[in-house]
Structure 1
């Protein structure tokens, strides 16, 4: 179709902050001209919409949107910002801008999916076609299911079923568009629902959406800590993607070594905010030359773990708060605010746990091996409900998303689908001896937690005995089983 200056599409960006391999954007440019929109959304009274961003993720979103605005401007595409209810803003924007269509990349969490369906109906009823596109997943959840079942609840058969599926070619960025007409550009001025990026309040420490957690305690902590370790944006993401071979090389052996900077790719926040598509990552991983096939397979397997998390989230609307294994609703967790605060502050007296929590606070990220260890310590040695840890990670991780975060916490806690057996309790001292034998990781991060404690100030006795607390956790598990039989 030739480009018609009179055909205008509104592309609603969400967690797809890129111009490469963007199906909605590509389709919109094929029809004509484009205006972009991003909304800082809030959930409505019925609970519809995405989970409000935590503190570290809000910082990342602001910086990534700044980069996206620049990239779109190079293509002649303006990006508008708004805040509030998407159910109100999107139809109003479509009407005020007199667009011919609205396009977006699909979301898969039930509360967001239901909202998008509602908005699509509103737009259609108003005579404005709305189109959704694949862009966040390799395998859309409704396209796969086990024979005789509703959805996969175990990763390995899921991976076997989907790993060889064709996912299509990576799309190039769209061509630059001609300038908007004077009338159309004038229509952007003075719209009452439009805000500046700074006006969205992503950096002001308000409305964490997750209670009195990290960003509420110290409202601008991420601007002096996390910002020193990351450079958000789709252009930087593409540059980092070209270095993927370093992360894949020896991945099968090195990915559990937290002190090794090349043990992981560091692309998880890029994927979480859609600065890169999973298709770009898969295509690059498959194309990396001269790496061991076992390393390549191990890295790609992790990419599909993310797919599995979203597969579960699509089918389980209450994954944020309810255990996937219902018997765990009776698990006798303890109400221990003091223990929780020690864990959050990284002052448990357990070196690997404290180092991990310090890395999280300082960088907005934590190595996955240490994530599992710190989560196991909270839920099994301290017997604190996994939800409290999930909330803390939601507010402090730059890569926390609505699927991976709760699914991973439930996996460690033993109450999730495909969960590790409950009696698998990570001993943090053994984990340290095995994966940080020289103490490089621990020494690097101790002294950099929320309170800025020095190593000497942190030198205190562990708040629990690992052996005794493990026995208490197993006893609690036995009590839960006896009560549900």
Structure 2
């Protein structure tokens, strides 16, 4: 009596572009044969699904998927591509390929979770098993809450509650599978939903996550600038992980020094796209023998800040657009497109801010200390709504994710999860004196920006500050006082 065909599982890759420590992939390979798929998703008419990728992130996704496709091919696993509504595509792919099950790594933004629940119900109704797995977070949001409360709203108590939790062992990559039958392989590309990687349009400048922002202005910019600074993909991520000690050593003291290329590990985009799992990073951080405990714990604390951001995003469905502190809905922000344009182009006349914006435009990344300074300057010295800055970062950062980006912006703007009062306003000149005293970082980046122009060329030769720091700080505090009077008793 001949044996029947092996079970076939479809693994839906999302922000988990790796083969190591991938619970969904490991489980699928243990069941039988596997086919992978990645979808360039769009939100449906009800707002369900992930936030569309910004320009720099789309470039990263394209390059990382190219590497993942090759890695899976070595395991005998084809990777399919499609673009559109996942609610339409996944059930159709499952039916066309006659798969027995679909597996994926869980997402935590409410709009994506509702979509995934809908797709799971569709699959089950069609007689196809659907399984979700952990892998994007160390601590899933529904597993932690304060006594007598619904969720943590300040980072330190959250970190205290979760930092000693066991996270499990890192999973090895699965073994190579048997080749799929030729008939099945021939059918893979014969369906109307099928595409190749280039056909997804990730590099064509369309469908940005933030309207007419950076990638709409320069659709091919990232391929000639950001590409000079990064090599996306899980292969390079694994290589960088092996040298993690360089990013942790002296981290407690040096992580605020933007001119030092080794002051951070540079792994944030690897984590954002799941080229590395947070469990891999945590395990590696604990295993690095030649660093001090202060450096190790300072670095791990930053890893858990990302966890906290997702904890908040899970509980606050509108964190992308609405202030966590309701009173800030009354904040008297200014509508000043000219000042916003100066900030975006790095022509504010404030050296540290302009250097940071130039670094962002050229590399798709900005040092975290400078991010805070640039964000504070926009929201407090220019009194421009944090949403405009969040949108710009979404479109120009390679590591912007749905949780960390808006949560961090709200933290700096004073309307987010923070016990500190609004009057924490970063003075960019003092920040430069403290963290870039020799102006190494400033001098490195001030001559670069959009179009390769120098700061003087971009500003028409005028390098005077567009706002007085002292006067604008006083105006910000006065605006805060007006908001408090209008929203007395409002809290979250």
| TM-score interval, smaller chain | over 0.9
CA RMSD, aligned part only?
1.1
Quick check: 2:189–2:195 contact (8 Å CA) kept in 1?
Answer: no
Partner of 2:165: 165
**Contact persistence 2:68–2:233 (CA under 8 A):** yes
Deviations 1:8-39 (A, max 9, x none): 00000000000000000000000000000000
Name the structure 2 match of 1:474: 477
SS at 2:450 equivalent:
coil
Corresponding position of 2:316? 316
Match of 1:35 in 2: 35
Separation in 1 of the partners of 2:4 and 2:467? 69
- Give the match for residue 273 of structure 2: 273
Q: Distance in 1 between matches of 2:78 and 2:421?
A: 51
Q: Deviations over 1:374-406 (max 9, x none)?
A: 000000000000000000000000000000000
**What is aligned with 2:439?**
439
**Post-superposition shift, 1:456?**
4.3
Q: In 1, are the aligned partners of 2:55 and 2:209 still within 8 Å (CA)?
A: no
Corresponding residue SS for 2:7: strand
**3-state SS, counterpart of residue 366 of structure 2:** coil
Aligned counterparts, 1:50-129, within 5 A: 50-129=50-129
Residues 169, 5 of structure 1: CA spacing in aligned structure 2 closer, same or farther, 3 A cutoff? farther
Cα deviations by residue, 1:202-235 (Å, 9 ceiling, x for unpaired): 0001110311100111111101100000000001
Which residue in 1 is equivalent to 2:143? Answer: 143
Separation (CA, whole Å) in 1 of partners of 2:316 and 2:195: 35
Contact 2:18–2:234 under 8 Å retained in 1:
yes
Alignment partner of 1:6: what SS? coil
- Alpha carbons of 1:455 and 1:125: their partners in 2 closer, same or farther (altered >3 Å)? closer
Counterpart in the other structure of 2:217: 217
Determine the C-alpha separation between the residues in 1 that align with 2:364 and 2:89. Answer: 31
2:368 is the alignment partner of 1:365: no
Counterparts of 1:321-400 in structure 2, within 5 Å, are: 321-400=321-400
**Is the 1:33–1:177 contact (alpha carbons within 8 Å) kept by the matching residues of 2?**
yes
Matches of 1:27 and 1:424, distance apart in 2 = 48
Tell me by how many angstroms 1:484 deviates: 1.3
**TM-score, structure 2 length as denominator?**
0.97
> Residues 451 and 350 of structure 1: is their aligned pair in 2 closer, same or farther, counting only changes over 3 Å?
farther
Partner of 1:417: 417
CA contact (8 A) 2:41 2:49 kept: yes
CA contact (8 A) 2:449 2:455 kept: no
5+ residue gaps in structure 1? none
After TM superposition, list the pairs within 5 Å mapping 1:172-211 onto structure 2.
172-211=172-211
Give the Cα–Cα distance (whole angstroms) in 1 for the partners of residues 337 and 238 of structure 2.
42
SS at match of 1:343: helix
Verify the 8 A CA contact 1:345 1:451 in the aligned structure 2.
no
- In the aligned structure 2, how far is the partner of 1:53 from the partner of 1:420? 31
Aligned equivalent of 1:251: 251
Separation (CA, whole Å) in 2 of partners of 1:247 and 1:476: 40
Shift of 1:5: 4.5
Within-5 A mapping of 1:9-48: 9-48=9-48
Would the alpha carbon gap of residues 223 and 4 (structure 1) be closer, same or farther in structure 2, given more than 3 Å must change?
A: farther
User: Which residue of the partner structure matches residue 234 of structure 2?
Assistant: 234
- Contact kept, 8 Å, 1:411 with 1:420, in 2: the verdict is no
User: Contact (CA 8 Å) 1:362, 1:448: kept in 2 or not?
Assistant: yes
- Measure the CA separation in 1 of the matches of 2:22 and 2:450: 38
Moved more, 371-380 or 190-199: 190-199
TM-score (norm 1): 0.98
Q: State the partner residue of 1:461.
A: 464
Give the deviation of 1:482 after TM superposition. Answer: 0.9
Aligned with 2:159: secondary structure?
helix
